[in-house]
Amino acid sequence: MALHVEVPPIPDRVSLLADVAEIVSRSHDLQETLANVIDLVGKRLDADVCSIYLTEPDLRTLTLSATIGLDPECVGQVQLAFGEGLVGAAAERRETVAIETALDDPRSRYFPETGEERYASLLAAPLIVQGVTIGVLVIQTLESRRFDPQDIGLLQTCAQLLAPVVINARLIALAASPAGERTRPEADSGGRSGTLELRGIPTMRGVAIGPVYRLEDPIDLARLDYEPSSDPAREKEDLISALADARREIDELREQVGERFGPEFAAVFYTQMQIVEDHGFVTKLEQQVEESGDALAAVRAVVDHYRKTFERIQDPYFRERGADIEDVGRRVMEKLLGVRHQSDPMQPGSVVVADQILPTLFARLEVERVAAIVAEHGGPTSHGAIFARTLEIPAITGVSALLTHAQPGELAVVDGGEGRVYLDPDAGLVAEYERAQAQYHVAIEHLDALRERPAESRDGRRIRLTANVGLLADLRLVEQHGAEGVGLFRTELLALAHRGFPSEEEQQQLYTKVCTDMAPRTVTIRTLDLGGDKGIPNVGFPDEDNPQLGLRSIRLTLENQRAFRTQLRAILRASQSGNVRLLLPMISGIGELRDTRVLIDRVRNELVRDGVPFQADLPVGLMIEVPSAALVAEALAAECDFFSIGTNDLTQYTLAVDRGNERVAHLYNPLHPAVLTLIDHSARAAQRAGIPISLCGEMATNPLAVPILLGLGIEELSGAPAAVPVVREIVRALDFGKAEKAARQALTVATADEVHAISAELLRASGLLDHPDIGDWLRSSLDAGKR
């Protein structure tokens, strides 16, 4: 009879699981992960041997794959069939086997070469994925030991934590085989075909080349073992304190992120805080914990309930919001389990690979070291995507199988504009992208150095170049690239980040900051342009068959007068700290303009009555982005102070081409003479009425459009800050007289291709194709793009 010895108490069972989870979450090499895990498990469970057996592809054989304690020479050599010995029994029955006196057990099968006959007790837990045993984690002890439920539970959980790592490694091996599913570009020269190309949704354009930095995969909390206290009251207390800890953490994040990037970035944490404080959420949790006596199960159940509700929602934007509830739930669970985050240091210029671009990512990462972000899930409307765009970080979302393939440290090339990621790129590809990237940077630096030069044509026609911005973080880019003000401040990003109409105070603070930073330059603040593809909660969006033609933009705000009034008050109040213009989106006729002006007058009167100061002569302008507005521009011009042409929408509505539908993208072309005719019509109306006219669609920075727009008499072009220097160079190389002639000619032709040719000829004749910074790029634009 073997001697029974007392096992020293396990110092911190949760910390063992947290540490294993940590190793697993940072895993990039299967053998290394297995070695680390068995070392840790062996020590913490006070075992003399800890080994792992992995299942062969036949799903019937186990191979000793790593061991601490047995002869290392046997790794890869010792094999046993399912059902053979105690380990085989655990595999076959998919059950944990705990044997105090293994030596006496008839099922025992010893491999003398391992030297394992010396070990008295054995505990073997299978690694199971979808009902299939993919390995067995085993501990053995020299002295006899009765494994208690805690030992058994711990080993089982460790086995389950390891399972995804093993599966991933298997998948990678499979994918790497010739029959695998990897899509490789044709091998170019010399058979250098190691490059793996993955595709996703272009989310922010730009090129990055750098090492993959895998953001610690979320620890699978579902697999972590949690043993509730036997006292239900204690469980409830633990849950309440976990909620408080989570709330504190979210609040800290809100503060940090707010300080680094501006309050609108922090809005999402504010919402998360509202969730942890939400009476309904907290009550549900309390009820659950009272019923089940298990705090972790209560969080899981409640979060699951919310998640399912969100999943049923059609709108992708709303669906993505379910992620915030999950984020909160996760944080609370982590607090309950004592899980900590820890990441490897990030190299400068890293390509961050993540499951999703979550807002928290920007708080956790050193953003200045991030060259690009690529995510397996999520869409371009997520908060994270918005933040990435704002920060000019090239980004791609929805890259399927990314996490399976991307290995930490391996080189990646990211082409954000094309939505392509190349893993382990071949030398030719890297060189090609390096050239493109270097050229781009040099050009931008040169051009930025010349930012003080006015955008004036050779024959003295001066136009204003301004920037489109959406977040505070963009303002530094306005400075960097020398824009002369903000031609379009899109306020809906604030609402999208906030997921609801922000308060007057919040809006006023934000607008004031923009105006103060930009003063004395002009800031054109556009009122909320929501709806269509930009929906937010709390506004009651109807489910529309044709949202682009539905209740969007000014129509929506006119229906939500309280929210509209709040925004108008905030803009008016901010107007006194700078030089502000108020811009109304998607006006389609005089009625909408008049209704809005009535509301504006009412708000002005309220402010006067309350003695609140504001810019009394605040110009009120409108966007021409619906053909009807262009056609009645004369009437509109008589009742507003300026026009800004939104060609993104004007093109879509004139040509009946959905700007977001790739199937008709070839038909979407702002150079179409029909669009130019409407621009011309609007420009003439503005001239006759003596009001300024600008253009703020993407067309404003399209090199082929610039000569035509100049020639049509557009006085201000507003576009992405980074594009401003290029437009400046083009304007400076042109002759206004010739541009006017080209524009007149463009109005007489029938197709966009003909306009393209007219403009290309002018650019060529102006010598711009020899420009040291933008010549090559222009040449390729003339050859390739018509947009």
Q: In terms of CB distance, is 512 or 651 closer to Mg ion?
A: 651
Residue-wise burial string across 680-689, b where 16 or more C-beta atoms lie within 10 A, e elsewhere: bbbbbbbeeb
Strand positions, DSSP E, 250-367: 350-354
The one segment of 175-183, 202-210, 263-271, 642-650 that binds ligand PEP by CB under 6 A: 642-650
Window 518 to 547, contacts with ligand PEP (CB under 6 A): 529
Least separation in angstroms between CB 650 and ligand PEP: 7
Q: Which does 697 bind (CB under 5 to 8 A by kind): ligand PEP, Mg ion, none?
A: ligand PEP
Q: In terms of CB distance, is 76 or 660 closer to Mg ion?
A: 660
Per DSSP, the three-state class of 694 is strand
Distance CA 457, CA 455 (A): 7
First to last CA, the chain: 85
Q: Which helix (H) or strand (E) holds 49?
A: strand 49-55
Q: In terms of CB distance, is 619 or 697 closer to ligand PEP?
A: 697
State the binding string over 248-287 for Mg ion (x if CB under 5 A, else -): ----------------------------------------
Distance CA 26, CA 28 (A): 6
Which of 416, 697, 719, 721 contacts ligand PEP by CB under 6 A?
A: 697
Least separation in angstroms between CB 253 and ligand PEP: 29
State the binding string over 478-517 for ligand PEP (x if CB under 6 A, else -): ----------x-x---------------------------
The one segment of 82-90, 195-203, 318-326, 645-653 that binds ligand PEP by CB under 6 A: 645-653
User: What are the residues whose beta carbons fall under 8 Å from the beta carbon of 471, sequence distance 6 or more?
Assistant: 261, 262, 264, 265, 386, 387, 390, 493, 494
Q: In terms of CB distance, is 422 or 541 closer to Mg ion?
A: 541
Q: Which does 696 bind (CB under 5 to 8 A by kind): ligand PEP, Mg ion, none?
A: ligand PEP
Q: Which does 254 bind (CB under 5 to 8 A by kind): Mg ion, ligand PEP, none?
A: none
**Choosing from 50, 377, 383, 771, which is the catalytic residue?**
383
Q: What are 684's two structure tokens? A: 């003439």
Distance CA 302, CA 604 (A): 46
Residue-wise burial string across 361-394, b where 16 or more C-beta atoms lie within 10 A, e elsewhere: bbbebebeebbbbbbbbbbbbbbbbbbbbbbbbb
Least separation in angstroms between CB 697 and ligand PEP: 3
Residues in the interface with ligand PEP (CB under 6 A) total 10
User: What are the residues whose beta carbons fall under 8 Å from the beta carbon of 153, sequence distance 6 or more?
Assistant: 225, 227
The one segment of 55-63, 128-136, 242-250, 644-652 that binds ligand PEP by CB under 6 A: 644-652
Beta partners for 128?
Answer: 133
Window 625 to 644, contacts with Mg ion (CB under 5 A): 625
Residue-wise burial string across 397-428, b where 16 or more C-beta atoms lie within 10 A, e elsewhere: bbbebbbbbbbbebbbbbbbeebbbbbbbbee
The one segment of 286-294, 613-621, 643-651, 771-779 that binds ligand PEP by CB under 6 A: 643-651
Least separation in angstroms between CB 222 and Mg ion: 43
Query: How crowded is the C-beta side of 99, counted as CA atoms within 13 Å?
Result: 23
Q: What are 360's two structure tokens? A: 């928290």
With the C-alpha atoms ordered 746, 752, 753, 756, is the resulting torsion angle positive or negative?
positive
Window 276 to 315, contacts with ligand PEP (CB under 6 A): none
The answer to whether 591 and 626 are in contact (CB under 8 A) is no
Least separation in angstroms between CB 96 and ligand PEP: 58
Q: In terms of CB distance, is 415 or 529 closer to ligand PEP?
A: 529
The answer to whether 341 and 21 are in contact (CB under 8 A) is no
Answer yes or no whether residue 621 interacts with Mg ion by CB under 5 A. Answer: no
Q: Which does 19 bind (CB under 5 to 8 A by kind): Mg ion, ligand PEP, none?
A: none
Q: Which does 490 bind (CB under 5 to 8 A by kind): ligand PEP, Mg ion, none?
A: ligand PEP
696 is catalytic: yes
Q: In terms of CB distance, is 135 or 697 closer to ligand PEP?
A: 697
Answer yes or no whether residue 415 interacts with ligand PEP by CB under 6 A. Answer: no
Q: Which does 647 bind (CB under 5 to 8 A by kind): ligand PEP, Mg ion, none?
A: ligand PEP
Q: In terms of CB distance, is 203 or 647 closer to ligand PEP?
A: 647
Least separation in angstroms between CB 755 and ligand PEP: 18
Answer yes or no whether residue 696 interacts with ligand PEP by CB under 6 A. Answer: yes
Answer yes or no whether residue 646 interacts with Mg ion by CB under 5 A. Answer: yes
Distance CA 370, CA 217 (A): 17
Window 646 to 665, contacts with ligand PEP (CB under 6 A): 646-649
**Choosing from 515, 640, 696, 771, which is the catalytic residue?**
696
Distance CA 723, CA 700 (A): 9
- Which residue lies nearest Mg ion, judged by its C-beta? 649
Laid out side by side, the sheet with 49-55 consists of 79-81, 61-68, 49-55, 132-141, 121-129, 97-99
State the binding string over 470-499 for Mg ion (x if CB under 5 A, else -): ------------------------------
Q: In terms of CB distance, is 51 or 647 closer to ligand PEP?
A: 647
Q: In terms of CB distance, is 363 or 679 closer to Mg ion?
A: 679
481 is catalytic: no
The one segment of 20-28, 223-231, 619-627, 663-671 that binds Mg ion by CB under 5 A: 619-627
Q: What are 736's two structure tokens? A: 């206004």
Answer yes or no whether residue 588 interacts with ligand PEP by CB under 6 A. Answer: no
Query: How crowded is the C-beta side of 44, counted as CA atoms within 13 Å?
Result: 23
Distance CA 297, CA 316 (A): 28
Q: What are 616's two structure tokens? A: 């009394």
Answer yes or no whether residue 531 interacts with Mg ion by CB under 5 A. Answer: no
Q: In terms of CB distance, is 323 or 486 closer to ligand PEP?
A: 486
Least separation in angstroms between CB 529 and ligand PEP: 5
Beta partners for 123?
Answer: 98, 139
Window 621 to 640, contacts with ligand PEP (CB under 6 A): 625
Per DSSP, the three-state class of 589 is coil
Tell me the DSSP string of 720-780. -GGGHHHHHHHHHH--HHHHHHHHHHHTT-S-HHHHHHHHHHHHHHTTGGG-TTTHHHHHH
User: Measuring CA to CA, which residue among 243, 646, 204 is closest to residue 417?
Assistant: 204
Least separation in angstroms between CB 497 and ligand PEP: 15
The one segment of 258-266, 287-295, 647-655, 733-741 that binds Mg ion by CB under 5 A: 647-655
Q: In terms of CB distance, is 228 or 646 closer to ligand PEP?
A: 646
Q: In terms of CB distance, is 334 or 625 closer to ligand PEP?
A: 625
Answer yes or no whether residue 649 interacts with Mg ion by CB under 5 A. Answer: yes
Strand positions, DSSP E, 448-566: 464-469, 485-490, 522-526
Distance CA 747, CA 676 (A): 7
Q: Which does 419 bind (CB under 5 to 8 A by kind): ligand PEP, Mg ion, none?
A: none
DSSP state of 507: H
Distance CA 143, CA 128 (A): 29
The answer to whether 127 and 134 are in contact (CB under 8 A) is yes
Beta partners for 119?
Answer: none
Q: Which residues bind ligand PEP (CB under 6 A)?
A: 488, 490, 529, 625, 646-649, 696-697
User: Which residues does the annotation mark as catalytic?
Assistant: 383, 696
Q: Which residues bind Mg ion (CB under 5 A)?
A: 625, 646, 649
